[in-house]
Chain A
Amino acid sequence: MTPCGSGGQDALIQERKFKMIKPLLQGLALTLKYFIRPSQVVTMQYPEERWTPYPRFRGLHELQRDQNGKEKCVACGLCSTVCPSECIHIVSAENAQGERYSEVYEIDMLRCIFCGYCQEVCPEDAIFLKQEYELASSEGTGFIYGKERLLAPLKKHK
């Protein structure tokens, strides 16, 4: 904590402000250098340029479907139990055929640490962490991923 109100402190802050000016100018000069010569840039030009993640990268989850297009997840609850950040919320229910399925499957991406435990524990191979990493959102609820965003899209089946 900074104690305030003492004269000696003020003098110190004045002195520091003065010392900052030189590095600031140095930095601006560097910026100017790359601005004039863009060919020397080393950072990635996102979003024009995009990074290809490594194969074992763990990004956004995807809920799988079987070859008939049916959701693989049976709402066994193991992933939500194993998840160290307790960010998976499942409501299990019975479907029309009397089978178990997840009525609600939500992951809170703000809490997820992408450890991949859920993928590892799943007995049905129903969840995988894929390569998708662009998860920013401008509102809080945007980070709660429900089934509509997690489920793999239906492929055309004959």
Chain B
Amino acid sequence: MINLIIDNKNITVPRGTDIFLAAKNNGIYIPGLCYHPKLSQYGGCRLCMVEVTERGRTRHKFSCAQPVSEGMQVKTKTPEIIKYTKSVMEYLLAHHPLDCPTCDKSGECGLQDITHDLKLSKGRFKTVRMNKPMRRDNPLLEFNANRCILCGRCVKLCKDVEGVGAIDFQNRGINTIIGTAFDKPLDCSFCGGCLSVCPTGSWQDRTFKFRARHWELKKTTSICPYCAVGCTIETNTKDNTVLKITSNDARGMNEGNLCIKGRFGHDFVHSDKRIKTPLIKKNGVLSPVSWDDAIGYVAKRFREIKNVYGGKAIGGIGSEKCTNEDNYVFQKFCRMVLETNNIDNLSNMKSPLLNTLIHKSIVHGFTSTTSLKKIEKADTLFFVGADVTEAHPVIGTLARKAIRLNKADLIIANLRNVRFDSIAKNDIRLIHKLGTQAPLINALIKTIIDEKLVDLKRVEKATDGLRELKSLLKTFTIKKASQITGVSEETIRKASALVAKPGNCYIVCGKDIEEDPSGPDTIKALMNLCALINTASSLKTDAGKISLVFSRLNNNSQGANDMGVVPDFFPGYLDIDDQSNRKRFEKSWDTKLSDTIRKGTAFNLIDLALKKKLKAMFVMGENPIVNFPNGKTVKEAFRQLEFIVVQDTFLTETAQLADVVFPTATFAEKEGTYTNMAMEVQRLNIAIPPVCNARQDWQILCDIAKKMGVTLFYESSKEILDEIENTVPIFSGIYYERLIRQSFNWVTAHKLKSRKYKFEILNPKSVTVKKKRDYPFLLLTGPSLHHLGSFSRNSNSLVSVASECFVEVNRKDAQQMNIHDGDEVLIESIQDSMKLKAKVTKKLPENMIFIPEDYEWVHVNVLRDNVYTKVKLSKA
């Protein structure tokens, strides 16, 4: 700690802080436009001059570039400095168009604020205006070079934080401007970061354009409704309309960084495609009815079905997009009122063992604790089967921060050569053959054991089964591993060394692992890897550990599982067959649970429906027809049902099949909590009243329950969370009010008991995929940066940037088949066929094609069967 005096105030700050930040954090204002705590220093605006007296010498220094030192005396407001700052401002303003009345930045503009503070009016210099035309070459951002003061913040953010480097300084002297290479239209990831750091109004959000003044906007802190990173956002509203999403650098683990979906994908809230009233199918057509009628009808039908076939003939699909409270009430409603345990959520249906595996890794302390923010402290980053850039962009920015500030090393293991832009010195790509991810991890383990990269004696003491593991891997030489996986021996060695090196290592385990048939094996292998390294290190704390982060797809995929919308567990992963757990919930819900509430068969809901074991289905905020693999079968399964109820915001493909549809509120109209992929429970807040008659999901459930003669009575989300706090052990200690300030992490909050780790002994087998002569290609699907679910599909901004789904084809294959970028190709599988535009790429291995699965209107899943789908490709 360093003591210094700024403007006669004694201040203590950590070593290495610069004067600018020291002053700012202690409430002393120094003007400055180029400095940003998120970015590296640049010293370009020259406004932050202060007078520094050190060791008896007084000099003028730029405070943003000058670290504090012991006993330093700083004056920020001497007449000389004010005179200097004023003249710098005069220079800046001589160049500035001063079009505040028409500039959306007005009211929160750094330049305006300083002009005002210094009481500048008439300048002494001749004004020179650039009169450059506004650049409007893309649908989301526009750039006005006239307003730019060349502080360089946007350039640095784009390069360092976002890793894109789409913009840079051009020209020299008075002609310097910010622009894209060769003045091409801006084609970047549209994270909007440039917009958020620009101190002036040079960058403008075109989707907001002029609709309100800064001071008229109400800001409500909330959580992004798209992916499982759970970025904190600020919903800006005026007259009960969501106008834009901004971010606050001081709030949330995302430090003000968002991706395109979070920042621009909010316009679905006011989409005219929203369902406006409850709908009931009459003569095959969904027609509007009143809330009372719809609820009465659903209650009546459910009662009939329950009486005739028993409760277990009703299935329930909970939502990865709804809040924890919605999901909790959903499973309570199903179990208590409908008396069925046939409930599930899509993520659990896609990878049924994942919950158990995650729980196991939590018990043994392998998951990252507290927050995703820890990733920025990593020394090694290991992405396994995760396309971070597309699926979880803000994890990418956290990772880049680790790479930039911690010099972290990067390892990416994937089937495809996925894109991840960074400046990592060691950027190792383990591009393996199909289905060999488990052997690859075992190869790393083998290398670590063979080369004694960790203290094996310690490991042996702290765990069970190391010997078996060793003997199992005896014949699995690195050479063999290299042959199987297709990764060179040297690369395997290098990667092992980086994983085992001291320091924090974060493994992000992606969807390609979790949803793969060999997924459980790979995850077990990863846990072995974690155990090997963690038990070898003497450190008990988080520092110097290797941690697993399991990526989830949607904003609340984790929460839907936590809340027990799965057939095997009550909320909080309490075994449903355990009598004491049953008692616990019977007591809390003041009811006697039906005997049918126990673990069912190994079949998922779709299978049950196909087997005609289900008569009715209750779907809350999901679109399984499109989002579940093997789309044809799912549709078939839904056709078997007599009665389908869907709660959703939009009339999705599933809702169109329904007998009753209820309109539900979106994130902006809701309160409650979401749980992100690091088990952080974060709170969202109501920004606007419900749009067009919509209700929150849990309210609808309570209304139906009431009509069925059971009172589930809650006034607000808070009461539901209180009940969860009371009943579910892992959530004890979660309080709604506290969540305003701080997220709650149930892993950290409860030291779950850890037994001695026993190594999983698995044969490192690779999955072999039989080739079919008629269908020579293999279809891979994956996430997309621009789309996720039915929200993005109804956001005009997102659709305007990514309007068309595409199929990626390997360059060699494309050459052979004479396919060029943009050509339309026909993809056929046994199930179905579709036409898409081709995108020729080097990312893919040969004989494989890739289609992003989140362009919801393109039903990729109808092509897929349950395992690797073989397809053929031809030019259309």
Contact = CB atoms under 8 A, between A and B. Distances in A.
B213 A81 contact: yes
A94 B211 CA distance: 8
Contact of B210 (A78, A92, A123): A92
B106 A76 contact: yes
Interface in A107-128: 123-124
A92 B211 contact: yes
Interface in B67-118: 100-102, 106
A37 B108 CA distance: 68
Of the four ranges (under 10, 10 to 19, 20 to 34, 35 or more), the interface on chain B belongs to 10 to 19
Contacts of A77: 213, 216
B101 A123 contact: yes
Nearest to B142: A98
A99 B102 contact: yes
A74 B136 contact: no
A75 interface: yes
A76 B107 CA distance: 11
A76 B216 CA distance: 12
A76 B102 contact: yes
A90 to B, nearest CB: 9
B134 A93 contact: no
B209 A94 contact: yes
B215 interface: yes
Interface of B is mostly: loop
B101 A124 contact: yes
A100 interface: yes
B215 A100 contact: no
B456 interface: no
A75 to B, nearest CB: 7
A78 B101 CA distance: 8
Interface residues of A, number: 15
A62 B790 CA distance: 47
Interface in B124-154: 134, 136
Contacts of A123: 100-101
Contacts of A75: 210
Given A76-B101, A76-B106, A98 B211 contact: no
A93 B207 CA distance: 11
A93 B210 CA distance: 5
B213 A100 contact: no
Most chain A beta carbons < 10 A, residue from B100, B101, B213, B216: B101
B213 A98 contact: no
Contacts of A74: 101-102
Contacts of A81: 213, 215
Contacts of A94: 209-210
A98 B101 contact: no
B13 interface: no
A81 B213 CA distance: 10
B212 interface: yes
Most chain B beta carbons < 10 A, residue from A91, A94, A100: A100
B102 A98 contact: no
A73 to B, nearest CB: 9
A92 B209 CA distance: 9
A74 B102 CA distance: 6
Contacts of A78: 101
A76 to B, nearest CB: 4
A93 B215 CA distance: 16
Interface string B212-245: 1101100000000000000000000000000000
Nearest to A99: B102
A102 to B, nearest CB: 10
Interface in B640-673: none
B117 to A, nearest CB: 19
Contact of B211 (A76, A93, A99, A124): A93
A69 B768 CA distance: 75
A99 B211 CA distance: 12
Contacts of B215: 81
A72 to B, nearest CB: 10
A4 B210 CA distance: 62
Given A92-B211, A94-B210, A100 B216 contact: no
A91 B213 CA distance: 10
A121 to B, nearest CB: 11
Closest 3 pairs between A and B when the two form their complex, measured CB to CB: A76-B101, A77-B213, A100-B102
18 contacts: A74-B102, A75-B210, A76-B100, A76-B101, A76-B102, A76-B106, A76-B213, A77-B213, A78-B101, A81-B213, A81-B215, A91-B211, A92-B211, A93-B211, A98-B134, A100-B101, A100-B102, A100-B210
